[in-house]
């Protein structure tokens, strides 16, 4: 396995950090990663190791306002800004790894984004993977916080508040919470505009679920207390049955890729990727 790092500019001039894990031989495909809130692509080393062993490239970028990328912490001006960034990243990957089939992979916040992005943009990818997408969460139950996000997202878009993510709820591996707490590239700050944008993304996801255009692997842990598993089940009930593979992992928490039995998750994911080629 080898790694590559590079930087590119968004359409509004922010410098974005990217990293890829590459197999030793010819790659069967490249999996394009969109990470979750508060984190960065460096946390996906286990994914990179597992995917390269099966002949895939894993390529990802720190989203604006996260990790090593520029931008106000936890902020996006609009949802469209996030979608344009994904456009740009997919174009970067296409140029770097010519004639290699691409997949789009999002976790948590990234899972919501790829589910919203795919029907709107109809990307030229072989399939989409979403793990633990935050389609239903505790935030929705906090009606005042939702209302404030919608109002402040317009009048005070850069007002910051905590995301409410509890590191203890991420994984059954106790080391993960400690790593999150002490990782200088992780933070738990988001802005009102971020909140407004993500609420808009949820509306788009469910509205377009019946017309999801590509093969989709949707996976969720049944003990996820951050992004409720019923959100994925609700999406699955709406999505085209000939496009969807739904896998609920019994007993797993939010981060399927860091739970103790993550090797099973990676094997299932890679088997699905193989079938799409």
Q: Rounded to an integer, what distance in angstroms lies between the CA atom of residue 108 and that of residue 131?
A: 6
Domain 2-276, architecture per CATH: 3-Layer(aba) Sandwich (3.40)
Q: 97 - beta bridge partners?
A: none
pLDDT tens, position by position, 113-140: 999 999 999 999 999 999 999 999 876 6
Can you give 5-66 as a three-state secondary structure string? EEEEECCCCCEEEEEEEECCCCCCEEEEEECCCCCCHHHHHHHHHHHHHCCEEEEEECCCCC
Q: Are strands 102-107 and 127-131 parallel, antiparallel or unpaired?
A: parallel
* Paired sense of beta strands 244-249 and 216-221, if any: parallel
**Strands 102-107, 189-191: parallel, antiparallel or unpaired by DSSP?**
unpaired
Per-domain boundaries in the chain = 2-276
Task: Look up the pTM and report it.
Answer: 0.95
- Report residue 128: phi and psi, to 5°: -130, 140
Q: Please report, in tens digits, the pLDDT of each residue of the chain (277 residues total).
A: 899 999 999 999 999 999 999 999 999 999 999 999 999 999 999 999 999 999 999 999 999 999 999 999 999 999 999 999 999 999 999 999 999 999 999 999 999 999 999 999 999 999 999 999 999 987 666 555 666 666 766 778 888 888 888 999 999 999 999 999 999 999 999 999 999 999 999 999 999 999 999 999 999 999 999 999 999 999 999 999 999 999 999 999 999 999 999 999 999 999 999 999 9
């Amino acid at each position: 396995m080898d790694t590559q790092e590079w930087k590119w500019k968004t359409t509004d001039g922010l410098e974005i950090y990217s990293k890829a894990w590459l197999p030793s031989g010819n790659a069967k495909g490249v999996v394009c990663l969109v990470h979750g809130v508060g984190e960065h692509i460096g946390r996906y080393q286990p994914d990179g190791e597992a995917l390269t062993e099966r002949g895939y490239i894993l390529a990802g970028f720190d989203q604006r306002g996260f990790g090593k990328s520029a931008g106000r912490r936890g902020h996006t001006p609009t949802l469209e800004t996030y979608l344009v960034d994904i456009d740009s990243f997919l174009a970067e990957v296409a140029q770097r790894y010519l004639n290699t089939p691409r997949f789009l992979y999002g976790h948590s916040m990234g899972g919501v984004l790829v589910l919203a992005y795919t029907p709107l943009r109809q990307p030229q990818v072989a399939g989409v993977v979403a793990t633990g997408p935050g389609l239903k969460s505790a935030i929705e139950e906090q009606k005042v916080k939702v209302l404030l996000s919608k109002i402040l997202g317009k009048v005070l878009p850069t007002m910051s508040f905590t995301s409410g993510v509890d590191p203890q709820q991420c994984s059954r591996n106790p080391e993960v919470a400690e790593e999150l707490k002490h990782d200088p590239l992780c933070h738990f700050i988001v802005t009102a505009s971020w909140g407004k944008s993500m609420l808009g993304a949820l509306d788009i996801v469910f509205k377009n679920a019946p017309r999801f255009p590509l093969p989709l692997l949707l996976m969720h842990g049944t003990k996820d207390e951050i992004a409720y598993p019923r959100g994925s089940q609700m999406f699955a009930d709406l999505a085209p049955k000939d496009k969807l593979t739904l896998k609920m992992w019994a007993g797993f928490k939010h981060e399927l890729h860091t739970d103790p039995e993550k090797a099973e998750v990676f094997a299932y994911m890679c088997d699905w990727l193989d079938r799409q080629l």
